[in-house]
Structure 1
Amino acid sequence: MKSKVKRALSLFLAASMVFSMSACGGTSSETKAESKDTAATTAAAGETTAPSGEVAATKQINIEINGDPNTLAPYASSNNPRNRTIIYTIYEPLFHRLKFGGELTPCVGKSWKQIDATTYEVEIYDYVKDSAGNPITADDVVFSYQTAIDSGTQTGYVGSVTEIKKTGDYTVQLSLASEQVGVFSDSVNFVPIISKAAWDASPDEMIANPVGTGPYVLDSWTAGSSLTLVKNENYWQDSAVSGERQAVDKVVFKEITEAAQITVALETGDVDFAYDVQSSDLFHFKEGGDDEGFTTYQFLNILMQCIFFNCDESSVCADPKVRQAICYAIDNQAILSNIFNGEGELSTTFSNSLYADYQDSWKNLDYYSYNVEKAKELLTEAGHPDGITIRLLTNSSADHKRIAEIIQALLAEANIKVDITNYEAALFNTYVSDPKEFDAYVTQKAAGGLSVLVWKLSMDARMFNGVTKNFLKNDEFQKLLETALDAATNSPETVDAVRAWLDENVPIYAFCSGYKYYVHTDDLLTPCVSGETVFYPGMSEFADTWHRTVE
């Protein structure tokens, strides 16, 4: 059968997106290579359409993850979207936001209304139950939020919640610290709602025995190998109200840590959906490739690859001229080419064109275009004519290690010696919190659909004891940021004022955002992927002839 190609717009205005089940996964560029012989494929995999009078075969999907989740606790710290795929299949928040920067849709929460600038009332469905049969009431919502706050790991989601209280059996009132843009959405979109009864009964705070309200429950878990979820047979919500949430009967997450083996797993039929296919292997699955029967999705990653400079006075990078010199000595195209095979978007400011408040004029900014002589000139002006040495930290990410090595080679041309130290995640987070331990570190950043939220989570001194995450203390910048964050004064002009300050002073410098890809079998018709990072298998659309039955 001749291959077909179907392409959709990959860059979209995040603020205008409204969720619909029929278009859940359709915001990316999609290449579909169809099987040469559909009948043969179906016969080999096993017939999934039951003959008249028989019960249809149950569906199973195998999903690649690149690491063990380590914990299934609802309030554990995790920035890995693979872990969040598991967590948000077991647990549910008050509301979903299934499109990047899009609108909130009901989940445990039924509706919400704004009382005043910083106060909201949320009503939950009055028939919610967790997988153990415990009813969920307003008391449980309050308990869930208080537990999330007390955990200390959910600051990005509950850091702005000053109070949550019961106002009825199924209503709560949520008070926020400010009327900043995006604060309410983030506060109700991520926090799992659990029952106090289940939490109190758990011997391990649900680390290995999760009890949520979600459409799936834990069936088995072999650390370092696989984790299996099955349908919650007592799931509380009716698909007529919410749309399909249990489209598949069994979900198996298979851990594959070697990138080359992910391609093999797809080719041999061991997995049906993969997040982490190497870009160099994608040609196998695209039109004209040697592996047919697959669909690839290409989309611009919301994550920006960047460098955070230590702005504490103890670091050489406290001097803006030194930071500017380093930026001029970095060739962003070299990073995009080496890390993402040249596929992605070069940064022209500390933002990304996916963000709803990104301004078209930013696309043409001269953002420290590679210029070694300019870098040397700035170092001389800063009092370092013979160059400097900086300590550059990275985490264990292979991409970040490679970026650090590219930076090391580039900066050597400008008489800047770079000493690189790599740390595992826990140690990395410890050392970047100590201004005496580094001069700069490589990382990646994103936030909930707005540039101002990215800036807030890194640069709002109110969140970091009076300084930014990288130890900058500047009253002028803080005032600009607070003005742009305030819903009453947020405007293109106030947002651009923050952008201009960041560009000139560069406490953070963005390199690029690469394209990301998913690969899956083409009988997964419409994968539901939230914000292009979290896959909801139960909310996806499968062909009637889905190839894998429950094992």
Structure 2
Amino acid sequence: MMRNGPKKILALLLSGSMMAGLLTGCGGGANTAGSEPAAKTKAASDAADTAGATELTIGMSTTWETLTPFRNMSSYSILYGRMLYDTLAYRMADGSVIPVVAKEWSAEEDGKTWNIEIYDYVKDSAGNQITASDIVWMIGEQKNRALKPAFNRVQSVEQTGDYTLKVVMKEDIVGSIENVLQHTYVVSQAAFEASGDEFVSNVVSTSPYKVTNFVSGSSLTLEKRDDYWQDEALIDRVMANNLDKVTFKYISESSQQQIALETGEVNVFATIDSSLMPTFEENSQFVAAPSNYLIGNELFFSGHESSPLANNPDLCKAIAYAIDEQGIIDGVYGGLAARMYDAAPYGLLGYQESWKTEEYYSYDPEKAKEYLAKSGYQGEELVVLASNSTRNNRMLTMIQAYLLDVGINLKLNLVDRALYTASLTDGSAYDMVQVSAGGNDLPSFWGNRFDCNAYESGDATSRKDETLTDMIYSTWTSEGFTEENINAIHDYVNEHMYAYGICQPMTADVYSTSIGLNEKMMYWAGGIDFIASTYGQ
């Protein structure tokens, strides 16, 4: 019998005032345990009979530098992730979880021990049969590499049959098994080890698509396989594969994003720079569809002992008070962004409406100087790390000027995406790092950023705050996910000033009317899933 543990927490929240305004965007992030697909479809074959698009070129401002399945959380929302790798399960836009490679899963009485059965006919693009041993290997390897906090919550994993396995979680944590199912990429261990480069540039995949061209930091082309393992009638419509060929192009500069759409270099741009939204809203040849990505624009301060910002909340507060967030909203986003009142973006499950009425480090240069005087700062140069893009360059140049105005020297280290991703969780590589972080719920967001057991060096900035970690763990159960515990973490993070939420940008997917999009399917992380959508004239 299926155990729907995450439904308990959703029911608890729905019954209280804490729920007001929370279930926006992606539907709040509550999960349901495995079950048969809610809606079966033949959308892929039906779409072939229409006159709509069968091939698309999609522009994106974020990318995977390598194709390896061992990735950190910075790339969890990349649209083409599901095209490269099938997972055990898939999170839908409403927060529920449906089977993919995992046929079903159920919990034992302790709530921590889960029995998982996978389909017995899964094969990758090279014909390798996928068995439970491949899944056990992948979960164990993800746990050992410590790139995704979801796997840190796994106590043990063992094979119990050719197509069955047992996963024991450290605690009965709401949503923990669903996160493991969602983030477990399914590959053949033998094929992976034989590749020689860990699938860096080519993938032997269990997914419905195969890689036909990949240029790191530039483009990725995938074409639909004709030998996909799953019966099409068992593929939920939210995961339909309605395109024969898709090319993704990485374009970080906003001016180039506009040119690429207007010249037809790309048919679609996923999460376009918000400054371009008015341009395409007024152009009848395009549709600008607002996206519900629950992502903020934040600064996270290093917790590494080598940084002047570690254990110096006064200096971090001086930085926050020195930044004119409205100036950034107007100057970088053209007014198309909202203030933040926490390091976590508004809309995550658990976010408190009352936070919007609190004082949250509003621009105040005089107060910044007061905290600076108390901090012991001696004029040393602080380094901020960010991915190089038009928006980030503009924003960080403004922040650099704001900080200099109160007497803080800031060096900008804008690097290519590969180096940024490699350095993101190394607090010794920066004093502060610009991050666009979000998710579905506060416990997961906090765990990904502040769990001191999540990464080899500590939390996502190399900080080792066991008190905060224990507070976060307390919210991972239905009994502990309370207003009191949530507010306690909010107050703790803000008082110790581990991070500062600058603004929450509005985003949009822009697409040409010529593609004939007639039914949008929404991606679980926000925005349109153009692969599952249907096309016709």
- TM-score class, shorter: 0.7 to 0.9
Equivalent residues of 2:38, 2:236 under 8 A apart: no
**1: distance between equivalents of 2:286 and 2:277?**
11
1:76 CA displacement: 4.7
What SS does structure 1 have at the residue aligned with 2:156? strand
Q: Percent identity?
A: 27
- The 1:89/1:21 distance shift into structure 2, 3 A limit, reads farther
Q: Does 1:278 align with 2:273?
A: yes
Tell me, in whole angstroms, the C-alpha distance in 1 between the residues paired with 2:436 and 2:233. 40
Structure 1's 61 and 383: CA in aligned 2 closer, same or farther, altered over 3 A?
A: closer
Deviations 1:440-472 (A, max 9, x none): 33333224x112222222222223568544454
What is the rounded CA distance, in whole Å, between the counterparts of 1:264 and 1:428 in structure 2?
A: 26
- Paired AA for residue 345 in structure 2: N
Q: Name structure 2 gaps, 5 residues minimum.
A: 1-22, 41-47
C-alpha RMSD of matched pairs (Å): 3.3
1:58, 1:249 within 8 Å by CA — same for their partners in 2? no
2:123 corresponding residue in structure 1: 129
CA–CA distance in structure 2, aligned partners of residues 429 and 252 of structure 1: 22
User: Is the deviation greater in 109-118 or in 414-423?
Assistant: 414-423
Task: Say whether the 8 Å CA contact 1:72–1:87 is kept in structure 2.
Answer: no
Match runs of 1:262-341 below 5 Å: 262-275=257-270, 277-286=272-281, 289=282, 291-311=283-303, 315-317=307-309, 318-341=311-334
Residue by residue, what CA displacement relative to the aligned partner does 1:171-229 show, whole Å, maximum 9, x if unpaired?
A: 21111223333322221102211123433553543333322221112234466764332
> Is the alpha carbon distance of 1:469 and 1:377 closer, same or farther for their aligned partners in structure 2, counting shifts above 3 Å?
same
- Which residue identity does 2:137 align to in structure 1? F
> Which residue is 1:419 aligned to?
411
Deviation (angstroms), 1:230: 2.0
- The corresponding residue for 1:517 is 508
What are the within-5 Å matches in structure 2 for residues 137-176 of structure 1?
Answer: 137-150=131-144, 152=145, 154-176=147-169
Partner SS state of residue 369, structure 2: helix
Q: Which amino acid aligns with 1:422?
A: L
Structure 1 residues 16 and 293: CA distance shift in structure 2, 3 A: farther
Alpha carbons of structure 1 residues 243 and 442: separation in structure 2 relative to 1, 3 Å = closer
**Counterpart for residue 400 of structure 1:** 392
SS at match of 2:326: helix
- 1:483-522 CA distance string (max 9 Å, x none): 2234542322111111111122212111111111111134
1:210 aligns with 2:200: no
Matched with 1:30 is: none
Q: Distance in 2 between matches of 1:313 and 1:135?
A: 48
Q: 1:391 to 1:21 in 2, by over 3 A?
A: farther
Q: Secondary structure of the equivalent of 1:463?
A: coil
Is 1:14 the counterpart of 2:7? The answer is no
Letter in 2 for 1:406: M
Contact 1:309 1:470 in 2 (8 A): yes
Q: Residues of 2 paired with 1:309 and 1:296: CA distance?
A: 35
In structure 2, the partner of 1:195 is 188
Q: 1:21 to 1:76 in 2, by over 3 A?
A: same
- Counterpart selection for 1:119 from 81, 102, 113: 113
Task: Tell me by how many angstroms 1:105 deviates.
Answer: 0.9
C-alpha displacement of 1:97? 0.4
Structure 2 counterpart of 1:482: 473
- For the residue of structure 1 that corresponds to 2:410, the secondary structure is strand
1:390/1:174 Cα in 2 relative to 1: closer, same or farther (>3 Å)? same
| SS in structure 1 at match of 2:277 | helix
Change (3 A) 1:296 1:534: closer
Q: Which residue pairs with 1:35 in the alignment?
A: none
Q: Greater CA deviation, 317-326 or 527-536?
A: 527-536
Provide TM-score, normalisation by structure 1.
Answer: 0.80
The answer to whether residue 454 in structure 2 is matched with residue 454 in structure 1 is no
Letter in 2 for 1:138: A
Equivalent position SS for 1:85: coil
8 A contact 1:81–1:533 mirrored in 2: no
CA distance in 1, matches of 2:402, 2:154: 44
Number of aligned positions between the proteins: 497
CA shift, 1:420, in A, is 3.2
**How far apart in 1 are the matches of 2:458 and 2:74?**
23
Is the partner of 1:285 in helix, strand or coil? helix
Q: 1:241 to 1:188 in 2, by over 3 A?
A: same
Alpha carbons 2:73, 2:147 under 8 Å: kept: no
Residue in 2 that maps onto 1:89: 83
Mapped to 2, the partners of 1:77 and 1:478 lie a distance apart of 19
Contact 1:300 1:513 in 2 (8 A): no
Rounded Cα–Cα distance in structure 2 between residues aligned with 1:58 and 1:381:
61
State the Cα deviation string for residues 81-128 of structure 1 (Å, max 9, x = none).
68x43342132000000227x011111112211122322111222232
Any conservation in 2 of the 1:94–1:191 contact (CA below 8 Å)? yes
Secondary structure of the 2:290 match is strand
Aligned AA (2:294): I
Distance 2:504 2:185 in 1: 29
Query: Counterparts of 1:133 and 1:176 in 2: how far apart (Å)?
Result: 32
Q: Which residue is 1:352 aligned to?
A: 345
- 2-side partners of 1:490 and 1:78: how far apart? 23
Shift of 1:346: 0.8
Query: Quick one: which amino acid aligns to residue 145 of structure 1?
Result: I
> Which of the numbers 421, 431, 439 marks the counterpart of 2:431?
439
Q: Distance in 1 between matches of 2:385 and 2:217?
A: 24
**Deviations 1:360-383, CA, capped at 9 Å, x for gaps:** 212222111222222222333445
Change (3 A) 1:334 1:20: farther
- C-alpha distance in structure 2 between counterparts of 1:13 and 1:153, whole Å: 28
Distance 1:280 1:326, change over 3 A: closer
Query: Residues of 2 paired with 1:445 and 1:225: CA distance?
Result: 23
Give the Cα–Cα distance (whole angstroms) in 1 for the partners of residues 193 and 315 of structure 2. Answer: 54
Call closer, same or farther: CA 1:428–1:128 in 2, change over 3 Å.
closer
Change over 3 Å in CA distance of 1:422–1:250 after alignment to 2: closer
- Mark the CA change 1:410 to 1:71 in structure 2 (over 3 Å): closer, same or farther: closer
Q: Aligned partner of 1:97: which letter?
A: R
1:342 CA displacement: 1.7
Higher deviation after alignment, 247-256 or 183-192: 247-256
Provide closer, same or farther for how the CA distance between residues 349 and 86 of structure 1 changes in structure 2, counting only shifts above 3 A. Answer: closer
Question: CA separation in 1, counterparts of 2:31 and 2:159?
Answer: 32
2-structure distance, mates of 1:427, 1:341: 29
The 8 Å contact of residues 63 and 75 in structure 2, kept in 1 or not, is answered as: no
Paired amino acid for 1:417: N
Question: Is residue 245 of structure 2 the alignment partner of residue 250 of structure 1?
Answer: yes
Would you say the 8 A contact 1:194–1:212 is kept in 2?
Answer: yes
Aligned partners of 1:274 and 1:518 also within 8 Å: yes
2:227 is matched by which residue type in structure 1? N
Stretch deviating more after TM superposition (351-360 or 430-439):
430-439
Q: Give, in whole Å, the separation in 2 of the partners of 1:12 and 1:257.
A: 25
